């Protein structure tokens, strides 16, 4: 009886050990995949923040405003934005208040939910918004700092108007070149009248 009981215990232990090993092996690829997905990777910049700021300052006079576009948010709120262009490359955007044409701080949302599903009617259209953005651009200055973004891939250099950040320009932290703002470029193609550059793919939707 005791021998039979001991064999049963040993068999159960072997089964448990195999099950534990199997579960460990099954979990290992998932962990490795998470590592490969880039959750913790970081690019070591070769361009310093001061160099990124200087690059934007040197190119500020070459930055122009493209035709503004309008779009609706998830809650029916109207947004009007104008692209910042450098050599026909979309490098950012400026938001314009659709009620009065004022330039909005970057990331500011009017947050005007509608009681009905009727879209908000703009007080100004894209053409006046473009003119407002062009006028504002002449008074824009480059901030004296840069923020490292995208796991170290780029420096975000702020553009300042009346003390408020209204946009930022991305500078590649390895090459020092001003980079395309792909989200702004996508919206410019989707809602505006900016054509993608021939050497660049259409930004994903």
Which tens digit of pLDDT belongs to each residue from 163-184? 999 999 999 999 999 999 999 9
Predicted local confidence at residue 35, as pLDDT: 44
Most confident among 12-21, 33-42, 60-69 (mean pLDDT): 60-69
Note whether residue 42 is domain-resident: no
Tell me, yes or no, whether 154 and 61 share the same domain.
yes
Note whether residue 204 is domain-resident: no
Structural domain of 58: 49-191
Tell me, yes or no, whether 90 and 21 share the same domain.
no
- What are the φ/ψ torsions at residue 115 (nearest 5 degrees)? -75, -30
- What is the 8-class DSSP label of residue 111? -
Is the pLDDT higher at 44 or at 13?
A: 44
Note whether residue 40 is domain-resident: no
Tokens of residue 108, six digits: 């500011």
pLDDT higher than threshold 90 for residue 50: yes
Q: How many CB atoms lie within 10 A of CB 165?
A: 15
Predicted local confidence at residue 107, as pLDDT: 87
pLDDT band at 18 (very low <50, low <70, confident <90, very high): very low
Overall domain count for the chain: 2
Tell me, yes or no, whether 20 and 69 share the same domain.
no
Q: Are 110 and 77 in contact (CB under 8 A)?
A: yes
CA distance 140 to 160: 6
CA-nearest of 57, 124, 135 to 94 is 135
CA distance 119 to 144: 40
Note whether residue 90 is domain-resident: yes
pLDDT higher than threshold 70 for residue 82: yes
- What is the 8-class DSSP label of residue 155? E
Tell me, yes or no, whether 58 and 158 share the same domain.
yes
Note whether residue 63 is domain-resident: yes
pLDDT higher than threshold 50 for residue 9: no
Ranking 2-11, 144-153, 191-200 by mean pLDDT, the lowest is: 2-11
Tell me, yes or no, whether 20 and 59 share the same domain.
no
Tell me, yes or no, whether 13 and 60 share the same domain.
no
Tell me, yes or no, whether 20 and 57 share the same domain.
no
Tell me, yes or no, whether 143 and 58 share the same domain.
yes
The mean per-residue pLDDT over the stretch 60-75 comes to 90
Can you give the C-alpha Rg of the chain in angstroms? 26
Note whether residue 43 is domain-resident: no
Note whether residue 156 is domain-resident: yes
Predicted local confidence at residue 71, as pLDDT: 87
Q: What is the percent of the chain where pLDDT is above 70?
A: 68
Query: Whole-number mean pLDDT of the chain?
Result: 79
Tell me, yes or no, whether 91 and 61 share the same domain.
yes
Note whether residue 202 is domain-resident: no
Ranking 36-40, 97-101, 190-194 by mean pLDDT, the lowest is: 36-40
pLDDT higher than threshold 80 for residue 114: no
Burial class of 191 by CB neighbour count within 10 A (0 to 12, 13 to 18, 19+): middle
pLDDT band at 118 (very low <50, low <70, confident <90, very high): low
Tell me, yes or no, whether 12 and 110 share the same domain.
no
Q: What is the pTM of this model?
A: 0.71
């Amino acid at each position: 009886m005791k021998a039979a009981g001991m064999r049963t215990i040993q068999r159960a232990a072997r089964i448990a050990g195999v099950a534990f090993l199997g579960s460990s092996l099954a979990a290992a690829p998932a962990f490795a995949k998470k590592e490969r997905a880039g959750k913790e990777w970081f690019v070591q910049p070769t361009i310093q923040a001061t160099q990124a700021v200087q690059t934007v300052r040197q190119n500020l006079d070459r930055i122009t405003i493209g035709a503004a576009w309008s779009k609706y948010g998830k809650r029916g709120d109207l947004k009007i934005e104008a692209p910042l262009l450098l050599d026909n490359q979309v490098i950012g955007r400026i938001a314009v208040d659709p009620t009065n044409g004022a330039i909005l701080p970057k990331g500011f949302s009017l947050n005007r939910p509608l009681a009905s599903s009727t879209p908000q009617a703009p007080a100004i259209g894209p053409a006046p918004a473009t003119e407002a953005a062009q006028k504002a651009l002449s008074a824009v200055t480059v901030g004296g700092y840069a923020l490292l973004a995208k796991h170290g891939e780029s420096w975000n250099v702020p553009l300042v108007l009346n003390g408020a950040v209204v946009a930022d320009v991305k500078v590649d932290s390895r090459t020092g070149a001003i980079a395309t703002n792909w989200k702004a470029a996508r919206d410019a193609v989707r809602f505006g009248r900016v054509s993608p550059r021939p050497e660049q793919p259409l930004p994903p939707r």
